[in-house]
Amino acid sequence: MKPKKVWVEKAKKNAALEAVKHVKDDFVIGLGSGSTVAYAIEEIGNRTKREGLRVLGVPTSYQAFMSAVEREIPITTLEEHPVLDLTIDGADQIDEELNLIKGMGGALTREKIVANASKELIIVADENKKVKVLGENNHPIPIEVIPFAAKPVMHKIKEMGGTPVLRESGGKVGPVITDNGNVIIDANFGLLQNPTELELKLKSIPGIVETGLFIKMADVVYIGKPDYTEKIERKK
Ligand code: 5RP
């Protein structure tokens, strides 16, 4: 067995390369965030140079914006293109129905807006992201919250049986502030037997902007494994 770090990076890259094969000339593409999508953005950039592929990208975060600029992918906005052809994004957990937990990179709100504006959402990930039930291994749900509401939202989450933690910044003192000027609360609800119901309950709490639960949004998932890439399509 190869050392984990080596195969995981290769698996992420292979999954990303498969996703980029869906990109066609004149596509407007949502560019997701995270280390796996970074390989996809790199490959889109390579194809624009290699094949003269013409695309426009809508970045979901400052990170995605900077990667697109570095790869010389022309940028556009949802104002100019409210309907996108395709979004490629990563995920933190993927269940058997292709429901997702996203947002460990803190970009969940823009990611969900862009995914929802897209005709197709393709997710790229390595095998470690696959689970039977969302919430396995005590994985929390990232939730973007208006700072004014942080404490009451944490109180409500506790009342609902969750364990909320305000995400702290690794690079400065104080909380992580999202690209939208909000904070992130990571809420552990254990195993999510009914993620749809939980999503609805959370979205009804004033101050919650968005949750990292992406229910029935992914159309195709590419899972990079040590030796091959698995393609899974959502049953409709
Ligand atoms: C950011 C996300 C990312 O897509 C998710 O965290 C996966 O990242 P990586 O590919 O680095 O594991 O949702 O908000």
- 123 shares its domain with 182: no
Give me the sheet containing 93-94, strands edge to edge: 93-94, 100-101, 213-214
Q: How far is the CA of 96 from the centre of ligand 1 (A)?
A: 18
Please tell me the distance between residue 101's alpha carbon and the centre of ligand 1 in angstroms.
Answer: 9
What pLDDT sits at residue 236? Answer: 79
Residue nearest to ligand 1 atom 2, measured at CA: 103
Distance CA 71, CA 232 (A): 28
Ligand 1 pocket residue status of 35, Cβ below 6 Å: yes
Catalytic residues: 111
Ligand 1 atom at minimum distance from 104 CA = 6
Nearest CA to ligand 1 atom 10: 36
Same domain, 35 and 90: yes
Nearest-atom number in ligand 1 for the CA of 32 is 4
pLDDT (mean) for 207-233: 97
Mean pLDDT value of segment 95-105 = 97
Beta bridge partners of 28: 56
pLDDT at 1 over 80: no
Torsion, Cα of 190, 121, 107, 180 (10° steps): -120
Please state, in angstroms and rounded to a whole number, the distance separating the CA atoms of residues 202 and 160. Answer: 9
- Judge if the beta carbon of residue 90 lies within 6 A of ligand 1: yes
What is the mean pLDDT of the segment spanning 215-235? Answer: 96
- For residues 194-218, average pLDDT: 98
Whether residues 227 and 195 share a domain: the answer is no
My answer on whether 107 and 12 are in the same domain is: yes
Q: Please report, for the domain that includes residue 51, its CATH number.
A: 3.40.50.1360
Token pair, residue 69, equals: 């600029």
DSSP bridge pairs for 57: 29, 75
Residues 119, 157 within the same domain? no
Q: Is 191 in the same domain as 227?
A: no
Are residues 111 and 7 part of one domain?
Answer: yes
Q: Which residues constitute the domain of residue 195?
A: 136-212
Q: Is the CB of 88 under 6 A from ligand 1?
A: no
The gap between the terminal CA atoms of the chain, to the nearest Å, is: 37
194 shares its domain with 82 = no
Q: CB of 85 closer than 6 A to ligand 1?
A: no
For residue 12, give the ligand 1 atom closest to its CA: 10
Report which protein residue has its CA nearest ligand 1's atom 4: 90
Dist. CA 215–CA 195, nearest whole Å: 8
| Structural domains of the chain, count | 2
Q: How many residues does the chain have?
A: 236
- Check residue 2 and give its pLDDT: 54
CA distance 27 to 32: 15
One domain for residues 201 and 224: no
Q: Could you tell me the pLDDT band of residue 3, with boundaries at 50, 70 and 90?
A: low
pLDDT above 90 coverage of the chain, percent: 97
78 and 111 Cβ atoms separated by less than 8 Å: no
Do 125 and 149 sit in the same domain of this protein? Answer: no
The reply to whether ligand 1 has any atom less than 6 angstroms from the CB of 102 is: yes
Cut 0.75: pTM above it: yes
Helix (H) or strand (E) holding 151: helix 150-159
Domain match, 94 and 176 both: no
What CATH code is carried by the domain that includes residue 187? 3.30.70.260
Q: Give just the sign of the alpha carbon dihedral 10, 1, 232, 144.
A: negative
